[in-house]
Amino acid sequence: MNIGFLGLGNMGGPMALNLVKVGHRLHVYDLSAASVAHLVEAGASAASSPAALAQSDVEVIVTMLPAAAHVKAVYLGDDGLLAHVHPSVLLIDSSTIDPQSAREVAAAARQHGNPMLDAPVSGGTGGAAAGTLTFMVGGETTDFTRAQPILAAMGKNIVHCGGSGNGQAAKVANNMLLGISMIGVAEAMSLGVALGVDPKVLAGIINTSSGRCWSSDTYNPFPGVMDNVPAARGYSGGFGSDLMLKDLGLASEAARQIRQPVILGALAQQLYQSFSLQGHGSLDFSAIIDLYRKGD
Ligand code: NAD
């Protein structure tokens, strides 16, 4: 199949490579010439602009961009995708953006005659490279069915979450909970250790008791408790605190628009915001435990 792919960054690059690997013909575009060159080496052809990509012979276009402003510019801009794309082309946006913006862009696409899905992912850069991402998809069932084999080349868990914007809604709800639960585990681990319990013993208790969650049993933030997690390597790699801050901001903004209280989500956002201000935005999000511990 001829597929357009726009946005070849840390996530989009490996996702596009996986589509090439299963035999799709890719037409790619990114502002970064180096990212485009990498895909061209793998067999993709380069488009000179979003307009040129839209006008090439593609049946599907996937976008993987940083934030809503980029998505709106690429789709709705004067020389953007919708101004040039054939109405039969299926549009899939995998960027993480707020549900309302996703619905706005999908409505504009529909008006132009194009089916559009929001399909944000979880699984990080490792999942993107391994083709094991989870896709949370919002849009019409027929469009979801059409997209499924394409998404299956990049992910292993493809979930239809309902109508337009619902993929983004599922993603922001999950990531808000992740931010809150990480802070909760950091707080509880720090309290128990400060009261004298050995960190491994405490983690063992929590992980076989009612406090257990992913942040405690798979990604524990306390150094020395687990191997192969960012806490074991100075909080390098993993999921950056600034990316968590972005997702908490999306949750707070989405909630504000519908007057839905997200009390702990907003508090988590503020904690990550001050952590970022202190210069720690590039550390893995489990490093938030430093707010609770004396420097050592
Ligand atoms: P990135 O910054 O590495 O890549 C974004 C790419 O988009 C860059 O190559 C950039 O040049 C390109 N771009 C920006 N504006 C453009 C435009 N107008 N036209 C063409 N290309 C343009 O970001 P990423 O880590 O790949 O993340 C992409 C999305 O996926 C974000 O919404 C992010 O929140 C989400 N996400 C990231 C992760 C992760 O672990 N990195 C995990 C899940 C979801």
Q: pLDDT per residue over 75-108, tens digit each?
A: 999 999 999 999 999 999 999 999 999 999 999 9
CATH 3.40.50.720 matches 2-163: yes
**Nearest atom in ligand 1 to 240's CA:** 40
Cα 73 to ligand 1 centre (Å):
14
Give me ligand 1 centre to Cα 276, in Å.
20
Q: For residue 238, what pLDDT is reported?
A: 86
Instruction: Give the residue with greater pLDDT, 293 vs 71.
Output: 71
> What 3-state class would DSSP assign to 239?
coil
Q: Which residue has the least CA distance to atom 36 on ligand 1? A: 96
Alpha-carbon torsion (139, 73, 48, 135), positive or negative: negative
Instruction: Give the closest residue (by CA) to ligand 1 atom 30.
Output: 95
User: Percent of the chain, pLDDT > 90?
Assistant: 95
Does residue 45 carry a pLDDT above 60? yes
Instruction: Give percent of the chain with pLDDT exceeding 70.
Output: 99
The C-alpha atoms of residue 188 and residue 194 are separated, in whole angstroms, by 10
Indicate the top mutation candidate among 15, 61, 65, 219 to test ligand 1's pocket, ranked by most ligand atoms within 8 A of CB. 65
The CA 70 to ligand 1 mean position distance, Å, reads: 9
Q: Is the pLDDT of residue 73 over 60?
A: yes
Q: What is the mean pLDDT of the chain?
A: 96
Q: At residue 270, does pLDDT exceed 90? A: yes
Tell how far the Cα of 64 is from the centroid of ligand 1, in angstroms: 6
Residue 14, CA distances (Å) to 36, 128, 157, 197 in order? 12, 6, 17, 43
244-281: burial string, b at 16+ Cβ within 10 Å, e else: bbbbbbbbbbbbeeeeeebeebbebbebbbebbeeebb
pTM of the model: 0.93
**What are the residue ranges of CATH 1.10.1040.10 in the chain?**
169-291
**Does pLDDT of 136 surpass 60?**
yes
- Is the pLDDT assigned to residue 134 strictly greater than 70? yes
The pLDDT, as a whole number, for residue 295 is 66
What mean pLDDT is predicted for residues 248-273?
97
Residue located nearest, by CA, to atom 7 of ligand 1:
7
Chain segment 142-183, per-residue pLDDT in tens: 999 999 999 999 999 999 999 999 999 999 999 999 999 999
Span(s) in the chain for CATH 3.40.50.720? 2-163
- 51-55, Cβ contacts within 8 angstroms, sequence gap of 24 or more: 51/79, 51/80, 51/81, 51/83, 51/84, 53/4, 53/6, 53/27, 53/28, 53/29, 53/81, 54/4, 54/81, 54/83, 54/84, 54/85, 54/86, 54/89, 55/84, 55/85
Positions marked catalytic? 171
Pocket test for ligand 1, best of 64, 76, 97 (most atoms within 8 A of CB): 64
The yes-or-no verdict on residue 296 having pLDDT over 60 is no
Cβ < 6 Å from ligand 1: which residues? 6-12, 29-32, 35, 64-66, 70, 73-74, 95-96, 121-122, 124-125, 239, 243
Q: What is the pLDDT of residue 125?
A: 86
Cα 186 to ligand 1 centre (Å) = 29
Minimal-distance CA residue to ligand 1 atom 1 = 9
3-state secondary structure of 60: strand
Name the phi and psi angles at 288, rounded to 5: -55, -20
The CATH code belonging to domain 169-291 is 1.10.1040.10
User: What DSSP designation does 279 have?
Assistant: I
Q: What is the mean pLDDT of residues 130-140?
A: 97
Residue 205 has pLDDT above 70, yes or no: yes
Tell me: pLDDT of 253 over 60.
yes
CA distance 165 to 97: 9
